[in-house]
Structure 1
Amino acid sequence: MAQTRDEERLANAPIGPLMLKLAVPAVAAQVINMLYNIVDRIYIGHIPQVGDIALTGVGVTFPIIMLVSAFAAFAGQGGAPLASIQLGAGDREKAEKILGNSLTLLLIAAAALTVGFSIFKEPILYAFGASENTIGYAMDYIGIYLVGTVFVQLALGLNTFISAQGKALVAMLSVLIGAILNICLDPVFIFGLNMGVKGAALATILSQAVSAAWVVGFLCSRRSGLRIRTKNMRLEAKVVGRVAGLGVAPFIMQSTESLVTVVLNTGMQTYGGDLYVGTITIMQSIMQMIVLPTQGITQGTQPIMSYNYGAGNYLRVRQTFKRLLTVTLTVTCASFAVVALFPGMLARIFTPQQELIALVSRVMPIFFGGIWAFGAQMACQTTFMALGQARTSLFLALLRKVILLVPLAIILPRVTGSVMGIYAAEPIADILASATTLTLFLSRRKKLLPTAKDQ
């Protein structure tokens, strides 16, 4: 089958303008997607009298939400680069087989997650850092959110297959539709109908349902270069193995975010109390505001590298990587400057409580002290994913959070005897992981992407 117009652009268009064309909608999609949780937290934090406790309660549910998203990433981000590589190689039938198997994996994950978390949500929330003061709000929010798990799986997991075709604008619209609806419904349900955190959760799942319907509808239509076909949904061990091999890295990246949140929340509860748990809720929200747009840049660029790697055009892949590294480092360095200079202003977005604002202002420059280096890890790790390097991607996914951050967050407060050790764990892990990832990529670049003189 002949190349589509979008595929021709991936192969031949000037890299700079093409990156901009693909990255801008992808960044917008990540920013919009981030609003699902951020807007909820902003509204919840401003509920009269109980906003700070309600915000902390919803923050405790974050690990469950991230686990749900992690399973979407497992099938979506595991399958989409492989589908893009097959498109570059000219095999659309194999690309659609990967899409169909990934859809089935998403539906299986949705069913298992909904049942499992619904049954055991209360003990899980206590294990994740809830207290007697916050458990009610956490239960109210997650109980409703879990009903919409299937919508989250389809909206997040399948949207990557739209991006894989170079249709970044369509992928952005998939998220935009739901986000606008969420922003409109939040104040109506939370304040107008006086539903509180239940209203925030209801607004979120209704919005995700609309996004999921849009994504599935597009992938079933003739406008898509990759089509959902019933015959391709029957699981095949070889296809599932390849998707799982590559998908385990983004799964670990997102699921370990849950592990990190649990470790940070329980550590803060042990060494500080609810107020310190509240700082983590706010700073992780701000971390999302930095990391997710940067992920949009990398996800928008990934189809260029995957498609051309499949086509054997290694020079174009190398050129794309150099530009990507420059852009991501610029973004993370600029973000570090903002959080270091204006921590109080950022904290006020989420809470009016002066004691919490003062504490966040004091610890935020420490917590984000290594974010400037994180751009290097994101660029290199995305490139390994784009080239289908499953083992390396898995190691890098484990490195920052599981190998470095979690042990540091447990050990440092015990060594220092202070809660400040937990805040210091984040920048140490960021800098060490980014330096290791960049070194690993540069050492393997000639083998993965040889030039004429390397061969």
Structure 2
Amino acid sequence: MSASPVQVGSLDHQGNGLASDTEIRRSFWRYALPSIAAMLVSGLYQIIDGIFVGHYVGVDGLAGINMAWPVTFVISGFGLMLGMGGGSLISLKRGEGDNTAALKAFNVSFFLMIVLALFATFGLSLWGADLLRAQGGDGVTFSLGLDYVTIFANATIVTIMSAAIPMLIRNDESPNVATGLMILGALLNIVLDYVFIGLWQWQLEGAALATIIAQLIVCIIGILYFLSKRSTLGFNRQIIMIDPRMAASIVSLGSSSLVMYVYTSFVFALHNRLFMEYGTSVTVGAFAIVGYIMTMYYLVAEGIAEGMQPPVSYYYGSKQYENIKKMLLLSIKVTVIAGIGFIAILNIMPNLIIGMFTSDSGGLMVEAKNGIQLHLFAMFLDGIIVLASVYFMAIGKGAKALSISIGNMLIQLPFLYFLPQWLGVDGIWLALPLSNIALFSIVAPMVWHDIKQREQQPEFNVCSST
């Protein structure tokens, strides 16, 4: 079995639970690297679809999948909510030494996956087409987008489980297994995209089928892992019955992740609508490319945050508060460095990056370059906001994590309302970075106050924060 966070951050000579900087770094990278790799791999499902659609279907295909993506992304958000919420509760209970409760949290998480999948299938079947029309979809763009959404509507359980299972495996102290599982899924998706889109010309239906089949393989292998002796968790008929209080705790802890996905989907949909109103389908296609590019960094930031979560949850459960501060500060440092480096690369070689998604050297390329310059210059702040939300989730403060996610969505609305009226298309591009700057000025003091408050109250009660 892999070493737990407390084994990595061993007790010092005074026996007070304080880990050295070297031990914190070792613990951080042990969880962060597999988590970053896993998130990048999970994002490849969408990014690879975009690459093949851009080259084999064209601008209409990019616009269509960009309108379908906000609809299907919420389904992945359900899985992330249960994976992060269930995983956080599992690690918290283990930190408290309550392995029975940890096992119960695992089983309840799977029960909730089935329940949410039923609701998601019903919702997509009923309102999928309307959600595409609400973004301005019509003609070929609407038809292609609906093809993509229809496939996902019939396989919501697969999408939800494929997002949640690797996170539960990671909190079962097997981060490398989780990463390997997601890499396998991404590689399968690449092969199937080539066959379905490139060879068989199935367009967006092929993109959706490639993703669902790859996710299904991830689900099957993940379930087999939990049935094996390697796992310390497992399915138990005696405790699989729903526990309303524990289910509420899982949803509460993970709800900020779902809201973050809902926020992302809503903002993308609103951008699509505004770009269709102030621009053309070419502008929406350019936004699709810029969105895929931003997703690459966003997934790195989310991977850092999710890699931070298991050790922080464990440290919180065992009341090692100084170790939490060290882990958080290291995570912030890595997030900022990664973000600034990513921005530099994008501005040095934009043509190379954009060329991954299209062979069009005309208007689509020009508009995408403009989007990179205006839309992404402050994206490292978005990474810190994600980190703050996961931090509060990891220490059991689901309400604060949720408030950050909701704030992230609401704060963009006035920017998206006024800026396009003043600046046109450029105003739509600028709405995200300017709102990130505004939200960061609120979230940063909020996190710092939480850290300082705990330093002043070393005997802080874990239960009082949930």
- Indicate conservation of the 8 Å contact 1:366/1:424, yes or no: yes
Q: Which residue of the partner structure matches residue 257 of structure 1?
A: 264
Q: Which residue of the partner structure matches residue 284 of structure 2?
A: 277
2:454 pairs with 1:448: yes
Aligned match of 1:357 in 361, 365, 377?
365
- Aligned pairs (5 A) from 1:229-248: 229-248=236-255
CA shift at 1:454, angstroms? 10
Deviations 1:185-240 (A, max 9, x none): 11111122222222111111110000011111112222112222233321111111
Aligned match of 2:50 in 13, 20, 41?
41
Deviations 1:367-404 (A, max 9, x none): 0121132333233222111101111111111112x221
Q: Which residue of the partner structure matches residue 26 of structure 1?
A: 35
Q: Which residue of the partner structure matches residue 436 of structure 1?
A: 442
Between 244-253 and 13-22, report the one with greater CA deviation. 13-22
CA distance in 2, matches of 1:452, 1:145: 48
Aligned match of 1:153 in 149, 160, 165?
160
Letter in 2 for 1:383: Y
2:384 pairs with 1:376: yes
CA distance in 1, matches of 2:111, 2:455: 33
- Aligned pairs (5 A) from 1:179-328: 179-328=186-335
CA shift at 1:8, angstroms? 4.9
2:406 pairs with 1:398: yes
CA shift at 1:130, angstroms? 1.3
User: Compared with structure 1, are the counterparts of its residues 335 and 42 closer, same or farther at alpha carbon in structure 2 (3 Å cutoff)?
Assistant: same
Q: Which residue of the partner structure matches residue 61 of structure 1?
A: 68
User: Compared with structure 1, are the counterparts of its residues 266 and 80 closer, same or farther at alpha carbon in structure 2 (3 Å cutoff)?
Assistant: same
Q: Identity of aligned pairs, percent?
A: 26
Number of residue pairs matched? 449
User: Compared with structure 1, are the counterparts of its residues 454 and 214 closer, same or farther at alpha carbon in structure 2 (3 Å cutoff)?
Assistant: closer
Between 187-196 and 307-316, report the one with greater CA deviation. 187-196
CA shift at 1:21, angstroms? 1.8
Secondary structure of residue in 2 paired with 1:46: helix
Between 337-346 and 276-285, report the one with greater CA deviation. 337-346
- Indicate conservation of the 8 Å contact 1:83/1:95, yes or no: yes
User: Compared with structure 1, are the counterparts of its residues 453 and 162 closer, same or farther at alpha carbon in structure 2 (3 Å cutoff)?
Assistant: closer
Secondary structure of residue in 2 paired with 1:61: helix
CA distance in 1, matches of 2:6, 2:454: 23
CA shift at 1:443, angstroms? 1.4
Secondary structure of residue in 2 paired with 1:215: helix
Q: Which residue of the partner structure matches residue 105 of structure 2?
A: 98
- Indicate conservation of the 8 Å contact 1:63/1:259, yes or no: yes
Secondary structure of residue in 2 paired with 1:351: coil
Secondary structure of residue in 2 paired with 1:331: helix
Q: Which runs of 5+ in 2 are unaligned?
A: 11-18, 462-466
CA distance in 2, matches of 1:211, 1:100: 18
Letter in 2 for 1:338: I
Aligned match of 2:174 in 161, 167, 174?
167
User: Compared with structure 1, are the counterparts of its residues 417 and 32 closer, same or farther at alpha carbon in structure 2 (3 Å cutoff)?
Assistant: closer
CA distance in 2, matches of 1:226, 1:87: 11
CA shift at 1:4, angstroms? 6.9
CA distance in 2, matches of 1:378, 1:63: 18
Secondary structure of residue in 1 paired with 2:50: helix
Letter in 2 for 1:372: F
Letter in 2 for 1:423: W
Q: Which residue of the partner structure matches residue 84 of structure 1?
A: 91
